[in-house]
Structure 1
Amino acid sequence: MPVSEHVSSCPEFTTISQEFRDEYVIEKSRFITTLYPCSTEDEAQAFITRINKEFWDARHNCTAFALGPKQEQQRSSDNGEPSGTAGKPMLEVLKKTGITNIAVVVTRYFGGIKLGAGGLIRAYSHSVSEALKKAPKELHTTRMQLQTNVDYATFGTIERYLTDQQYTFTKEFSDTVTLTILLPQEDLEPLKKQLQDITSGAVDFEELGFSEVTIPITMDTAPS
């Protein structure tokens, strides 16, 4: 089936795949960072309210969120810290990484030693940056679906190749193995040629069109 010339306009963006928490201690102050995936401001505000209730006894629960494929909606709060030392640096980290559809709360338990404005900026930025590095992330994008049937003799070689090239694919087993591969449009013809070479031409393809997909990100892409 020939593929349509029309490609879905689904914007590509990276977010986190689940709520995640990390802790950083400096000068006896605890900075507890909680990240939350969300797509609306109502969801972000409900998350912030929940964290405020959980850490009701903390001196500060500073917040930031970025929503939309291009981070169109942005907001931050210093929550009592000196102006510009918490929420804004947290939001700047989100903007730098490009990660979106995310809300973050950094909870601070004061340790008795003042950090100063510069120290606070560094502490809040570092807390969010480190949490984003460690959190599981996923790519939301559009991919071509290419389906092919291969025999069991060549399946292992093809599976290793697709895995090495970090393609996302599913497999169904019957008399042959049916592979459905998700790939960028620009990879379509090169991949078909490579699979033809691997199988000495004994492979057919069916292009199933484009689909909006979520792909786990296994390697850290957030800057340090």
Structure 2
Amino acid sequence: MTPTSYLTLARDGEAGIEVKRSRFLCTLRRVSEEESARAVVEELRRRHWEARHHCSAFVLGPDRALERSSDDGEPAGTAGAPMLEVLRGREVSDVVAVVTRWFGGVLLGAGGLVRAYGDAVRAGLDEVGLVQRRLLAEYAVELDHAEAGRVESDLRSRGVEVLGVEYGARVRLLLGTEDGAGLEHLLAESTAGRVAPARTGERWVDRT
């Protein structure tokens, strides 16, 4: 069964920690495909060319089906895997995490590396926050200019997502909802039964 909601980043961002003089900078970005995730890794590799490691982990898809991680030269299993475990634990998707490390001259050991890379991703997630994405049914409705503003405001106040507004001879609202029958009822109430919504598709939308 395809999921109808999942968690992702509220925004892109970064956070850093320091462990025994080694600096770990976690960069988090929202991405929707593997190519984009790998492009972020390469972008940071170029930007921070003087750093020793650029370890990464990413999770993609509403069902979190695609996962990848890289230790980028750190001992096997000490960087990418713990980063991926943090993303799994927070149940986030459509996200790439890159932890750039500047070596401070003190060896951390395998356990120290696992903790440091995991803590860097936790710090990054705490910094950017999470948001829920929901799959909404998309509907279109056409209204006279005189009533469009009132109807739009009324629908928003009742939890209907207004996904877009198009102006022409009439105003066309694109609406998102999980309850098509409920939307039809709300529109009937708001327009005295003169307007009914037409299903146009579906769309993923961030819900706060």
TM-score class, shorter-chain normalisation, is 0.7 to 0.9
Equivalent-residue separation in structure 2 for 1:49 and 1:172 (angstroms): 39
Q: Does 1:210 align with 2:201?
A: yes
Residue 178 of structure 1 corresponds to 172
Contact 2:24 2:120 in 1 (8 A): yes
* TM-superposed deviation, 1:144: 2.9
Q: What is the SS of the residue equivalent to 2:122?
A: helix
Shift of 1:112: 5.1
Question: 1:90 is matched with which residue?
Answer: 83
1:39 to 23, 33, 39: 33
2:181 corresponding residue in structure 1: 189
* Other-structure match for 1:102: 95
The aligned counterpart of 1:76 is 69
Corresponding residue pairs, total: 204
Contact 2:54 2:72 (8 Å CA) reproduced: yes
Of the three residues 125, 139, 143, the one matched with 1:149 is: 143
The normalised TM-score by structure 2 is: 0.72
Deviation of 1:89 (Å)? 1.6
CA apart distance, 1:32: 1.4
Deviation at 1:87, TM superposition (A): 1.0
- TM-score under structure 1 length normalisation: 0.68
What per-residue deviation string (whole Å, max 9, x for no partner) do you get for residues 4-47 of structure 1? xxxxx8976665598x341222344422122342513x444443
Which residue is equivalent to 2:45? 52
Q: Secondary structure in 2 aligned to 1:203?
A: coil
- Letter of the structure 2 residue corresponding to residue 61 of structure 1: H
Q: Which amino acid aligns with 1:84?
A: G
User: Cα distance, 1:182 vs. partner?
Assistant: 1.8
CA contact (8 A) 1:155 1:177 kept: no
In structure 1, list runs of 5 or more residues that go unmatched: 1-8, 220-224
Shift of 1:193: 1.7
Letter of the aligned partner of 1:60 in structure 2?
H
Which 5+ residue runs of structure 2 have no aligned equivalent? none
The Cα shift of 1:74 comes to 1.9
- 8 Å Cα contact 1:13-1:141 kept in structure 2: no
Partner of 2:15: 23
Return 152-161 or 96-105, whichever deviates more. Answer: 152-161
8 Å CA contact 1:158, 1:195 repeated in 2: no
Give the whole-Å Cα distance in 2 for the aligned partners of 1:130 and 1:74. 20
Partner Cα distance (1:195, 1:80) in 2: 59
CA contact (8 A) 2:139 2:176 kept: yes
1:107: Cα distance to partner? 0.5
Kept after mapping to 1: 8 A contact 2:187/2:196: no
Cα distance in 2 for residues equivalent to 1:131 and 1:78: 18
8 A Cα contact 1:148 1:178, kept in partner: yes
Hey, what's the Cα distance between the residues in 2 that align with 1:154 and 1:210?
22
Stretch moving more, 135-144 or 162-171: 135-144
Is contact 1:158-1:198 (8 Å) kept?
no
- Which has the higher mean CA deviation after the structures are superposed, 90-99 or 159-168? 159-168
Provide the rounded CA distance (Å) in 2 between the counterparts of 1:172 and 1:94: 38
TM-aligned CA distance change 1:156 to 1:142, over 3 Å: closer
Question: 2:7–2:130: 8 Å Cα contact kept in structure 1?
Answer: no
